Amino acid sequence: ADGSDFVFSQLYRQKKENARTITKFNVYQISGEYKGSVASTYDLNSFSGIVPGSVRVTSAGAELTESADYIVDYTTGSLTITNDAYLIEGRDIDISFEQNSFLQIQKKTLLGLRADYDLDEKLSLGATGMRLSEKSPTDKFRIGEEPISNFIWGVDGSYETEANWLTRAIDKIPLLQTRQQSRISLSGEFAQLRPGHTQTQAFKRSRSGLRSDGRDFNPDELDGISYLDDFEGFENTLPLMQPGTWRIPSAPDSIGAVDNSDPKADSLRTNWRGAFAWYRINNNTLSEIDALAYDPNAVRTIEIDEVFPDRELTGQTDRTISTLDVYLNPHERGPYNYTRDLAGFIANPTKVWGGMVQRIPEGYNDFALKNIEFVEFIFKPFSENTANLADPDAKLYVDLGFVSEDVLPDERLNEEDGLSTSDIDESSLATWGRLPTTLRDKVVKLDDTNQRTEDVGIDGLASYGGDYPDFSTEATFYSDFISAIDGSNSDPFYAAERARSLLDPSADDYHYFGDDNYFKNPDIYPGGATVQQRFTRFFPGYELNAFESQRDLADRVDVVIAVVTRSFLTRKT
């Protein structure tokens, strides 16, 4: 037989589930096993739910930051370490958290009443009534799990009197002689249980709406509803709210300012990348930032009932909702934007784009298999000019599928892991920067002797004051970009962008959002950076963003990195 008859090529071109249906070739069975020493996901076994904000993770005494170093799925009770620097064999991970009490899942109320009445010394009557009601946090419940609303009532009575005739009768029995007066006591009870059901808030709202239209539920529906199986209510969800899981994207092909037929279209698109940020804000975060916002409503905390006005919040202490905020500044260069026409970039904010990208985890990327049908989100835009509503021509794109990760358009996977810190030569240079030449081990390499690290951003070029050859620094490699900057242009937007470009040509330096030394520098941010601007250098800042870099390098390099020294201290505090 020809060897091609046994080649299962569809296995490499189709989904596994589809290839499996080709029985002609699906005749192989390969099994194996592996053993891993480092776990990235931890099941916290919190069946009653984790209290938001109570999770604390430490590694070797250093406290990790939620969203930046790890993410928590409060629904399933799992925690995933996202910072590879902590996924090292032998490194301890300590996790502490607070979980909800089982008793708080379903609230119970017990009311009782007892009445006694004595008609005389011989006859007394009594009555008892008790109601036990339960309230479920959900509006749907299955058979056997229904919250009850039962009422039990009962009456009782007793009669007691002296019986002289009984005493005399007993005394007539031989060998018996009573010494006490005989008494007769009679008592009786009757009770009845009247079972009921609890009306949920959703039922009450629906019935109120029907009654306002002169209608009502069917009689059988008024007796309570239970679900054999809630197919409608079951959702296989994948939360996308954690900012630490998002990354800088490659340039999309929908940039209107670039002709897609141009051979240099990929390179031109990245030159229209604006400053973009994604983050989550709470009251603790706002207390760390001494800055104004162009619109206070864009950075304030949101109450749950503002988004979900019909949600039941009884007994809930924290009534704020955690949102994922995004911010685009079309007047400021984004990472790896090396436009030679800086004035043209600033003059055309409507052509500027920004974005973020996230990898769908294994097990969720086959939407058909997981029955994932839609992306659900509630979005409220805020205009740069608070006097106007958001421009109706502004567009928000959501791309699903195989998305390019070629941030620097060189048809290579741009990454920091594997960048050499010892033998740096010009052979490692490419069109857009320096390429990895050593082993990729997911460990942030640091060289204390010459203040070098591989944590210099995905361009592989340094902008801080380490001992690097000139050809491996951003200022030298992108000297053409710096030379194209007009030093005489007095436009305030241009002057500020010029100062930022000279300090960090690739615009990829990490700065903590509470770093006032940097964000209040009048040359870099005239008047001070707004709350939103401060986050454009947080998650999108790749150079010196690792914990090891901040700990071991930021306080030693004394050139332009002095502002990062302050960032580390603030973050540590």
For residue 153, give every residue at least 6 positions away whose Cβ sits within 8 Å of its Cβ, in sequence order, or none. 127, 128, 129, 130, 191, 192, 194
Within 8 A by CB and 6+ apart from 491, the residues are 343, 346
Distance, CA of 92 to CA of 61 (rounded, Å): 9
pLDDT of residue 562: 28
Query: How far is the C-alpha of 567 from the C-alpha of 521, rounded, in Å?
Result: 14
366 in Cβ contact with 402 (< 8 Å): no
pLDDT at 5: 76
> Strand, coil or helix: what is 227?
strand
Three-state SS at 167: helix
Residues 6+ apart with CB under 8 A from 45: 77
CA-angle at 232, arms to 227 and 238, nearest 5°: 125
Give the Cα separation of 462 and 543 in Å (integer). 8
Mean pLDDT value of segment 17-28: 81
pLDDT in tens, 37-81: 667 888 887 765 677 778 899 987 888 888 778 888 776 678 888
Q: Where are the domains of the chain?
A: 1-32, 41-101, 106-223, 243-370, 426-572
Note the pLDDT of residue 48: 59
Res. 141: pLDDT tops 90:
no
Give 255's Cβ-side CA count (13 Å radius): 27
Q: How far apart are CA 559 and CA 569, in angstroms?
A: 17
C-alpha distances out from residue 398 to 14, 274, 358, 377, Å: 24, 18, 11, 11
pLDDT digit string, tens, across residues 309-349: 877 776 667 788 889 999 999 999 999 999 999 999 999 99
Burial of 322 (0-12, 13-18, 19+ CB in 10 A): middle
**Nearest one of 461, 568, 565 to 508, comparing CA atoms:** 461
**Three-state secondary structure along 13-70?**
HCCHHHHCCCCCCCCCCCCCCCCCCCCCEEECCCCCCECCCCCEEEECCEECCECCCE
Split at pLDDT 50, 70, 90, the class of 143 is confident
- Residue 432 — very low, low, confident or very high, per pLDDT cuts 50/70/90? very high
pLDDT at 229: 66
Hey, what are 263's tokens? 């051979």
At 233 the pLDDT is: 57
Cα-flanking dihedrals φ and ψ of residue 131, to 5°?
A: -130, 130
pLDDT band at residue 513, thresholds of 50, 70 and 90?
very high
**Model pTM?**
0.67
* Order of all β-strands in the sheet with 78-81: 41-43, 78-81, 70-73
Q: List, for residues 100-128, the tens digit of each pLDDT value.
A: 654 445 678 999 999 999 988 899 999 99
Q: Spell out the residues 6+ positions from residue 335 whose beta carbon is closer than 8 angstroms to its own.
A: 248, 273, 457, 506, 507, 508, 540, 541, 542
Among 333, 344, 347, 326, residue whose Cα is nearest residue 509:
333
With CA atoms as reference, report the closest residue to 410 among 485, 460, 476: 460
List, in sequence order, the alpha helices (H) in 310-456. Answer: 342-347, 367-370
DSSP state, 297?
G
